[in-house]
Structure 1
Amino acid sequence: MNDQMKVELQKGLKSRPVYIPAWYRYDEEGSRLNDVCLEQCKWYYFHRFEVKLLTDVLDEINDCVKESSMLVDLGSGNPYKTRLIIDQLLSTHERVTYVPVDISQDYLNKTAEDIKAIYGNKLDVKPIGEEYITALKDISLSTTTDRKLIVWFGSLQNLPYETQVDYLTEIRNTMRGYNEQFHLSSIRRLSREMGGNIDSSNFEIKNELVVNSSDSQCSYINIWMEARHNCVFDISKLDLTVRFEKGDKLYFHEEGGISCKYTIEQIRHLLNKASLEIVDFWVNEHVAAVVVSRR
């Protein structure tokens, strides 16, 4: 774990209310649990509708992006959906450069090897195990092509709203030349890597949907553990002692919620703040696919 990650953990655990950054759950085990949620949880509709929408409009999306021969996959995880795009690009290119980006280096290495085995020499796989902003800057500095296709499935919605703008702005710059066990994975990782002794039985997991109708905001979900009674825990490697009174909350994400829900006008407003504009979009009952360009 690099120094910046430790700084972010300390920031959240010293805050009031206390939180653990959403990205922290995505180590190898958390990433595996996320895949289980996507594939087996019958209540988690988002993944299924994403796949359905992509399948329905894949030919139309390909008309917009077929000139790209480099595919950057932010938060690649298990790249099942991305493979639909890869297959389309390989229908017009003999070889495609695939750059999966994921914060979990161990899980990324495994999935990179898996996808190499599927596509062989048709796919030049260049994994980057970094946080998104760092990875995007590296890609921008190391490549000169202006035909990059960047896909970002679902991860945008798990970031605070202003951070979404930061990431979208960095994406623009780069365009140059769930279940309980899943949420608790960050608690287990704190114990394993940082010497934490948090007893999750002292807490109750809760969530809420916060609805915003303004074009300048979006709806989102808050997820947290709420203390059942007064308790104290230590994080030895961060030199921290965190105290909770009954009813205090420990959020599983930064301020501003996760799993954001947008209207098209909210998406348009968000993209406009990052100097991006919508080329075309497609929607079904629950999700949208949006192709954007630089302004």
Structure 2
Amino acid sequence: MDCDLKRKLLNGLQSDPKFIPTWYNYDDVGSRLKCQAANRMKDVESCFYLSGAQNFVAEHYVREIIPKGPYDLTLVDLGSGNCSPARPFIDEMLRRQDTLTFYPLDISGDFLMHGVHHLSEDYNNSLVIKPIVADYVKGIEQLRTAEGPKMILWLNGISNLSYQDQVNTFRLLSKVMTDKCCLVFSADITEDRETILTAYNDATGYNKSFIQYAIERLNREERSEIDVTDFEYNVDFIPNQDPDSTSYVRAFIIAMKDIQYPIPGLGVDLSMKRGERLYFHEGAGFSCKYTLDQLRHIVDKAGLCLEETWTDDNKHVAFCRCSRTEELL
């Protein structure tokens, strides 16, 4: 972990209220844990709804989502993980063109390269893979060197950023796009409170284990010995219809007694009073939920135009295709 990320982690643990940033969960181990949780929860009724809904839209509407044109496209995948969600798009684009240049981007290098290895075996020379190991800001900057028309894929990546960071990231993307480029992103549009709370605090404990993995990583990498049994895990859903905002989830642990744990690797102690909360996200919440008007408002602020949307039958996820507005071209 570089110095800038370590500083952000330290700031979160010393803030009021205390928090561990959501991105901290996404090292190689955490990324695998997230995939395992999503896969296992597919078999549990009304558990993690988003993965299934996203897969449904990608598989049934991929031909409509990818724009048709007289030129070949380059595919960019932000927050690519193990590259699996991009496969329907890779398959369809290779039906239309002989070769495809693919830029998968993820903060977890080991997890990303594992997926890249499997892609290389499956697609051989038809897929030219140029992985980028970086966060969104640094990775998008590197995309300036990617030539030709691009389709930028960003599946459920906006939801764990703060509202302003969502706008800022869209704005950064607009600056590496031309009139022949498009952005395709997905977002959670679920409105049912019980469905959402069940997903983030499911009876199986899969998602809870992933969210609390931040403590396990802190203990392993920074040599702390924080005992999660000293805390109570909880989640909440905060609905918000304001066009300048979003609904969101809050996930946190509550200290069941006064605690003080040294964190030698960071040179600080985690000190909490009984009843104090430690959040697993920065800002008001994470895993944002949106109305279509809220999504349209966000992309408008970033200089993008929302062209078309696709949703699953249960209205859990929306795929949105955007172009750059004319005044920015």
Q: Which TM-score bucket, shorter chain as reference?
A: over 0.9
Residues 136, 171 of structure 1: 8 Å contact kept:
yes
CA distance in 1, matches of 2:231, 2:70: 50
Query: Which runs of 4 or more aligned residues in structure 1 lie more than 4 Å from their structure 2 counterparts after TM superposition?
Result: 64-68
Q: Which residue of 2 aligns with 1:197?
A: 225
What percentage of aligned pairs have identical amino acids?
A: 33
Shift of 1:35: 0.6
The answer to whether the 8 A contact 2:78-2:152 is kept is yes
Q: 1:101 to 1:149 in 2, by over 3 A?
A: same
1 CA distance for matches of 2:69 and 2:36? 30
- Residues 191-221 of structure 1, C-alpha deviations (whole Å, 9 max, x = no match): 1112222111111111111100111111010
Give the match for residue 110 of structure 2.
Answer: 106
Q: Which amino acid aligns with 2:320?
A: V
C-alpha distance in structure 2 between counterparts of 1:275 and 1:40, whole Å: 39
- 1-structure distance, mates of 2:70, 2:131: 22
> Relative to structure 1, is the Cα distance of residues 2 and 197 closer, same or farther in structure 2, using a 3 angstrom cutoff?
same
2:271 alignment partner, SS class: strand
1:289 aligned to which of 319, 322, 329 = 319
Q: Aligned partners of 1:67, 1:29: CA distance in 2, in Å?
A: 39
Q: Give 1:170 shift.
A: 1.1
| TM-score of the two chains, using structure 2 as the length reference | 0.86
Deviations 1:156-207 (A, max 9, x none): 1111111111111111112259511101211111111122221111111111
Residue 152 of structure 1, aligned match among 154, 174, 180:
154
Q: Does 1:187 align with 2:215?
A: yes
| 1:128 maps to which of 129, 132, 153 | 132
The aligned amino acid for 1:118 is D
| 1:165-184 to 2 correspondences below 5 Å | 165-176=167-178, 179-184=207-212
Cα separation, 1, equivalents of 2:71 and 2:261: 54
Name the SS of the counterpart of 1:47 in structure 2: helix
What pairs up with 1:1-295 in 2 under 5 angstroms?
Answer: 1-41=1-41, 42=44, 43-64=47-68, 67-140=71-144, 142-145=145-148, 147-176=149-178, 179-284=207-312, 285-295=315-325
Q: Distance in 1 between matches of 2:56 and 2:82?
A: 17
Distance 1:217 1:120, change over 3 A: same
Q: In 2, distance between residues paired with 1:272 and 1:64?
A: 24
* Alpha-carbon distance between aligned partners in 1 of 2:287 and 2:68, rounded to the nearest angstrom: 27
Q: Which runs of 5+ in 1 are unaligned?
A: none
Q: How many angstroms apart in 2 are the aligned matches of 1:230 and 1:85?
A: 51
